[in-house]
Amino acid sequence: MNRITIRKFKAISFYVLSWVFSCLLLTAFYFYYDPNLSLKFSFLLAVQYALLLGLSHGIYDVIVLEDNKDHRSIWIALLIRSFYFLTAIAVNVTICVFIWSLYDFGDMISEESFALVATVFASPITHLLILYSFIMGYLITFVRSVHKKFGTRVFINTLLGKYQDPTEEERVFMLVDLKNSTNIAEELGHFKYSEFLRDYYRYLSNCCEENHGEIYQIAGDGAYLTWSLRASIKNPRPVLCFYDLMICLNNTRRNFLRKYSVAPSCKAAIHCGKVIVSEVGNFGSEIAYHGDVINTTARLETLCSKIGQDLICSECFIEKVNLKDYYPQKQGTFELKGKKKTISVYSLHFSLDKENT
């Protein structure tokens, strides 16, 4: 499977597993209410219903809507999604009844099976199941949207309240900057340039997520990406992320040229060190990183054009991460703006020879 297929498979798996959990939870509550219920029958029925609904929900969001790329107005989108949920729930309940009719009566489509469908839909329990499924459909969609926005680590840590008090961590930061952004903006105009950035950042975020990183901050044409240093020692995830982004932009160059008459290219700088992580703000709070590492990364990125390199990193990063496959070459020692100490800078090199992204 290529990476796009893997990404879609993971997304659909999330919906399926979420529905399995939701249905098993409902079955547990119902079994607590009625202990005489057949546990085996309820379990199999719940799993069957969850698999059908999870697949249909995942296919709708990931394949039909292309992972929430719904450009319709919010009220139209909500109306269509509500109609879809009710239809999918009704169809999946009917399919479950037909399958169990085959088990009970030896025939899936028969007078008995249609009579059983009518009986099931007339039951108050089914009405509660439809209401529960409808609410869970929106809840799962919401959780998926929030997870996509904040990432797994930030999402979980925010729920657990880990960063309510400042915490020190060793992290790697990479600042990815779009080349010639001013000229592109002037050429395309504000509206077209906004669409250009949206497509560019979609590929950047995909590459970041696939390499287990987080987008800390996007400011205009630049984006700060971050990783735990410990997770990057054996596998240089920031470098792999930039590598994947270069492959991705190279493979989608024709699409950008056809749509915008210009294709994106970027440069990046990587640095690592200790930062303070804290949740700041009361309403509309966010996870913030404080420390000299971020400022140093920004200063390093300004050297890319000066020394003619697309990807550079600090000596600190070179010393702590295995980069032998990326041919680090020392570019010199530089005094960065606002810094008293000089810093050694290395360039990293690779060829664009991967599969399509």
- The residue type of 235 is N
Inside any domain, residue 352? no
Torsions phi, psi for 272 (to 5 deg): -140, 165
Instruction: Please tell me the total count of domains within the chain.
Output: 2
Which residues on adjacent β-strands are paired with residue 218?
223
| Domain end position, chosen among 150, 185, 219 | 150
- Kindly list the distances between the CA atom of residue 357 and the CA atoms of 208, 247, 310, 332, in Å, as whole numbers in the listed order: 12, 7, 20, 34
Domain end residue (candidates: 150, 173, 208): 150
Looking at the structure, tell me whether residues 168 and 212 fall in a common domain: yes
Domain for residue 190, yes or no? yes
Q: Both 123 and 176 in a single domain?
A: no
Greater confidence (342 vs 67) lies with 342
Residue 353 domain-assigned? Answer: no
Same domain, 308 and 213: yes
DSSP letters for 269-319: EEEEEEEEEEEE-STT-EEEEESHHHHHHHHHHTHHHHHT-SEEEEHHHHH
Report pLDDT for 271. Answer: 94
Of 119, 150, 181, which closes a domain? Answer: 150
Which of the two residues, 6 and 265, has the higher pLDDT score?
Answer: 265
d(CA 12, CA 1): 15
Length of the chain, please?
A: 357
Cα–Cα distances (Å) from 74 to 63, 77, 147, 266, in that order, read 19, 5, 20, 34
With 60 as the cut, is the pLDDT of residue 356 above it?
A: no
Residue 191 class from Cβ within 10 Å (0-12 exposed, 13-18 middle, 19+ buried)?
A: exposed
Provide the 3-class DSSP secondary structure of residue 37: coil
Rounded mean pLDDT of 204-226?
88
Confidence class for position 282, pLDDT limits 50, 70, 90: low
* CATH classification of the domain holding 300: 3.30.70.1230
Please indicate, yes or no, whether residues 145 and 224 belong to a single structural domain of this protein. Answer: no
Residues 75 and 197 in one domain: no
Whether residue 31 lies inside any domain: the answer is yes
- Say yes or no: 330 and 183 in one domain: yes
Let me know if residue 356 belongs to a domain: no
Structure confidence at residue 285 (pLDDT):
60
DSSP code string of 40-89: HHHHHHHHHHHHHHHHHHHIIIIIISTTT---S-HHHHHHHHHHHHHHHH
In a domain, 354, yes or no: no
| Choice among 94-108, 310-324, 342-356 with the minimum mean pLDDT | 342-356
Average pLDDT on 317-331 reads 85
User: Is residue 51 over pLDDT 90?
Assistant: yes
Q: Which residue has the higher pLDDT, 5 or 126?
A: 126
Amino acid present at 149: K
- In this structure, the answer to whether residues 19 and 132 fall within a common structural domain is yes
Encoded tokens for 250:
């190279």
pLDDT band at residue 220 using 50, 70 and 90 as cut-offs: confident
Are both 73 and 185 inside the same structural domain? no
Are the C-beta atoms of residues 119 and 93 closer than 8 Å to each other? no
Whether 170 is in a domain gets the answer: yes
Q: Is 185 left (phi over 0), alpha (psi -120 to 50) or beta?
A: alpha
Residues 176 and 244 in one domain: yes
CA 250-252-256 angle, 5° bins:
115
Domain that holds residue 263: 152-347
Residues 6+ apart with CB under 8 A from 324: none
Percentage of residues of the chain with pLDDT beyond 90: 37
In sequence order, what DSSP letters do the residues of 170-239 get, joined into one string? EEEEEEEEETTHHHHHHHH-HHHHHHHHHHHHHHHHHHHHHTT-EEEEEETTEEEEEEEHHHHSSS-HHH
242 sits in which H/E element? helix 237-251
Range of lowest pLDDT (61-65, 66-70, 325-329): 66-70
Q: Which long-range contacts does 37-46 make (Cβ < 8 Å, 24+ apart)?
A: 45/96, 45/100
Tell me the pLDDT of the chain averaged across its residues. 85
Q: Are residues 138 and 179 in the same domain?
A: no
Task: Tell me the two tokens of residue 176.
Answer: 């990815």
Query: 189 and 223: one domain?
Result: yes
The model carries a pTM of 0.74
The answer on pLDDT for 37 being more than 80 is: no
Radius of gyration of the chain (CA): 26
Looking at the fold, whether 319 and 189 belong to one and the same domain comes out as yes
| Residue pair 172/293 in contact by the 8 Å Cβ criterion | no
Q: Is residue 217 domain-resident?
A: yes
Which residues, other chains included, contact 18 with Cβ-Cβ below 8 Å and sequence gap of 6+?
A: 54, 140, 143, 144
Looking at residue 140, what is its pLDDT? 93
- At residue 34, the pLDDT reads 72
